[in-house]
Amino acid sequence: MNPFAILCLDNNPTSAQQLSDELSSFTGHFDLYSASTLQEAHNTLTWCQDQEQSVALVIAAHDEGFNGADFLIHLDKIPHTQTARKILLSCGQDIQAILAAVNEGRLDHCLTKPLQDKLVYQTVKKELTTFVMEHDKDNLLSYSQTLEHQRLLRAHIDKKLRSYREGFISDHHKLTDSELAERVINALHQFFDKSDETRARRTYSPEHLLTKEGEANRFLWFITDGEVALYKKDELGIQREVVRHTKGNIVGGMSFVTGEASFSTAITLTSTEVIKLDREVFAKVMHSHTELLPLFTNLLLRHFNRRLQRSITTKIQLQHTLESLESAHQQLIEREKMAMLGQLVAGVAHELNNPIAAILRGTETLSNSVDHLMSRPSDHQDLAQGADVLRRALEASPLSTAAEREKTKSISERVTDRRVAKKLVKMGLEEDPDLLHLFDRDPNHAKQHIEELENYHLAGSTLRSINVCAQRIADMVKSLKGYARQDDETFHECDLHEGIEDTLVIFESKLKMHQVIKDYGELPPVSCLPIALQQVWTNLVSNAIDAFPAKGCLTIKSAIEHRNGQEWAVIRFSDNGSGIPKEIQERIFALNFTTKKEGNFGLGIGLSVCQQIVNQHGGEIKVESTPEQSTTMAVWLPCNQDPSSSFHLRSEQ
């Protein structure tokens, strides 16, 4: 059991889990307790008191039905929890409760839900650092790897300095580094001239190892002459030189003071003279020489300050580099989009001919149908029924393959001719009682009547086709414009199938020599950025075409699937191409990675962009591939969620 405890009070399982995940890194020094009710929280505090375990921090959620603010107020009235730091997690609605917690309960922090990523972690880290600086002053350095290292180190040094005589470094700040180093060297030489039983004064040959990264260090080396290089391993395990020390510098100072493992590997570059001190000798030297202690302390502080300055400078440089890389990344994304747009525009003229030709053919068909209908004498009832069929054909949306098949099967028992049954389903007359009764009485007459009504259906469907083709032309131009500029798009509900169909129209010329199989399921409207998603569909279809053999087959399947209590719209794009080897499947979403054959254009960021867009919608992309057989890219999009007001939610597989 740790000497201190953290209590989290939250009745929301999701946010409680988030708290548990973000605070797990503190469990090495603080026991973490979770409570979902006020009674459970009080029981936990009582248990901690019985175990003589101090409560360092209490986090309480507050909403309309859960009074966490009042719980924090009462903590100040309990002796066992008066010193605990207090953080309130509020929905931001009950201002009076928050003010009461601030005024009456010595509230240290108030965070508003929804919580930003790592915000709780950073706040808790700060508050726990404040707590241990007040209540565990003798063990500050033991928390340095978990809490705020610099604050703890400064507090530790300040505590040590306060134990020295007042003003013992009052004049040393006026000395230059070289002057201060020279005075320390002279003082150390004077001390060891009298006695040097531990052979503190030593001379090392070049390439002598002083400290080794990651290993314990019990010594401090003060360089009196020569040069030492410090090396640090990078992520590939390659040692890289980070700094060089010469006369007056200290090697192993941080690990010597804090007791931590060595931060770097120190190796002499030349013949180097040092004064090597262990803790026992160091204490003996400092306590026996009244002038050496303030001199050496000032030198040590300057050493740590130089190290801190180098760290800050490096961090600033890395920040500038990161900003430059992010800017370059955005430029690459725009280049990828415009390059793909250039490929698509090259075939736009040909693609526009297709809907235009369809409109011309439809106009001719419509003229013939109208002539036929006008030349045929019909009674009032037939005209009314024909007008109804025409209207349905004009307004109806195409049925899914499965739905059409099921309806045809259901009436095939009554209408024995399957071809006629299919016509009834297409015209939406499969449940017309008068027509079905006519089939029972006079099947031949019913079939003739169906053929006459089919002319009305043909006229309506042709009109709809003309409207769709005209709209397709407008949408194609709009899609190409939107593909190049999508930054100001907003989330709204739309039909995913429409975006996919628009994309297939753009690729119509490339898909003519191949087969496209569409197996669309029933999908509800999904809140999304439709133009952004069109960039996803475009990249996935383009990649499938590039992977095609001589006779390619692209299968697009959509369905609703349930996972972890969430309803998902899943769109799968499958091709019969060469597939992706298993060893590189995890790398295909990385920047600058491409599997395209030589001669095919590809910046290697298309799938990376797709992944970012899908993540923006709270979804994910999965890849399933069998080398030399097929590849399936599955896009999972949440159905009942507003991605515009959420973070990038990712569910576990």
Query: What 3 state SS string does 181-233 have?
Result: HHHHHHHHHHHHHHCCCCCCEEEECCCCEEECCCCCCCEEEEEEECCEEEEEE
Question: What is the torsional sign of CA 42, 44, 45, 46?
Answer: positive
Any residues with CB less than 8 A from the CB of 625 and at least 6 apart, and which?
579, 580, 582, 585, 631, 632
pLDDT higher at 459 or 533: 533
Q: How confident is the model at residue 371 (pLDDT cuts 50, 70, 90)?
A: confident
Distances (CA, A) of 184 to 157, 221, 229, 279, 289: 20, 13, 22, 18, 11
CA dist 56 and 473 (Å) reads: 67
Residue 603: band (very low, low, confident or very high) from pLDDT cuts 50, 70, 90: very low
Decide if pLDDT at 41 tops 70. yes
What pLDDT, on the 0 to 100 scale, is given for residue 532? 80
pLDDT of 599 > 60? The answer is: no
pLDDT tier at 651, thresholds 50, 70, 90? very low
Distance CA 275, CA 106 (A): 51
Which residues is 335 bridged to in the sheet?
A: none
Q: How confident is the model at residue 3 (pLDDT cuts 50, 70, 90)?
A: very high
Q: Which of 214-223, 405-414, 535-544, 612-621 has the lowest mean pLDDT?
A: 405-414
Residue with tokens 């090396």: 231
Q: What is the pLDDT of residue 557?
A: 96
Give the pair of three-digit tokens for residue 258.
């804090």
Interval 255-282: pLDDT, tens: 888 888 998 999 999 999 999 988 888 8
The pLDDT of 622-635, averaged and rounded, is 92
Say what the pLDDT of residue 157 is.
85
The two three-digit tokens of residue 625, written as one number:
């591939």
For residue 378, is pLDDT > 80? no
> Which pLDDT value is given to residue 93?
64
Q: In this predicted structure, what is the pLDDT of residue 377?
A: 63
pTM for this structure?
A: 0.36
CA distances from 430 to 148, 437, 445 (A): 73, 12, 17
Q: Which two tokens stand for residue 273?
A: 């003279």
What pLDDT was estimated at residue 596? 58
413/136: higher pLDDT? 136
Structure tokens at 187: 């003082």
Please report the pLDDT score of residue 100 as a whole number: 66
How far, CA to CA in Å, does 28 sit from each of 85, 251, 468, 646? 19, 30, 65, 32
Across the range 191-208, mean pLDDT stands at 89
- Using pLDDT thresholds of 50, 70 and 90, give the confidence band for residue 55: very high
| Lowest-confidence segment of 85-89, 132-136, 177-181, 271-275 by average pLDDT | 177-181
Residue 610, Cα to own-chain centre: how many angstroms? Answer: 14
Residue 627 DSSP one-character state = T
CB atoms within 10 A of CB 261: 13
In this structure, the number of other CB atoms found within 10 A of the CB of residue 546 comes to: 18
Distance CA 233, CA 255 (A): 17
What is the per-residue DSSP string for 135-194? H-GGGGGGGTTTS-HHHHHHHHHHHHHHHSPTTTTTTGGGS-HHHHHHHHHHHHHHHHHH
Mean pLDDT, residues 570-588? 89
Percent of residues, the chain, with pLDDT higher than 90: 25
Cβ proximity of 539 and 574 under 8 Å: no
| Average of per-residue pLDDT across 491-513 | 83
Give the separation between CA 11 and CA 61, rounded to whole angstroms.
8
Mean pLDDT (whole number) for 470-476: 72
Token pair belonging to 378: 């019909």
pLDDT for 390 beyond 90: no
Helix (H, G, I), strand (E, B) or coil at 31: strand
Calculate what percentage of the chain has a pLDDT beyond 70: 80
Q: How far are the Cα atoms of 476, 488, 616 from residue 501, in angstroms, in the given order? A: 10, 23, 22
Contact (CB, 8 A) for 502 and 475: yes
What pLDDT sits at residue 638?
Answer: 94
pLDDT class of 521 with cuts at 50, 70, 90: very high
Average pLDDT over residues 330-340: 66
Question: Kind and range of the H or E element at 61?
Answer: strand 54-62
**The pLDDT of residue 593:** 65
